[in-house]
Amino acid sequence: MSSQGLNADSNEENKDEKTLKVLLVHWVNHNKSHQENFLKWVDKAEEMGKDKTAQFIKKANEYIEKANEMLLEAKKHM
């Protein structure tokens, strides 16, 4: 392979790495916006007397928090 071919592959990997770093942060921020909305609906569900529904939404929120931790950990290993 020519040196140009190697450079092109290297540039593509570099571009993908930069993109992935940006995506990891974006995904965490995106998830946080959902979490804010989830917590609003926990309160509303409780006001409606839907305690079991609220409980499951809270649990979903916990899973999103765990996912965010994993995404941030992934970013540390970039």
Domain spans in the chain, listed from the N-terminal domain onward = 24-78
> Which residues are CB-neighbours of 75 under 8 A, at least 6 positions away?
21, 24, 25
Up-side HSE of residue 36: CA atoms within 13 Å toward CB? 5
| Ordered per-residue pLDDT tens for the chain, 78 residues | 555 555 667 788 899 999 999 999 999 999 999 999 999 999 999 999 999 999 999 999 999 999 999 999 999 999
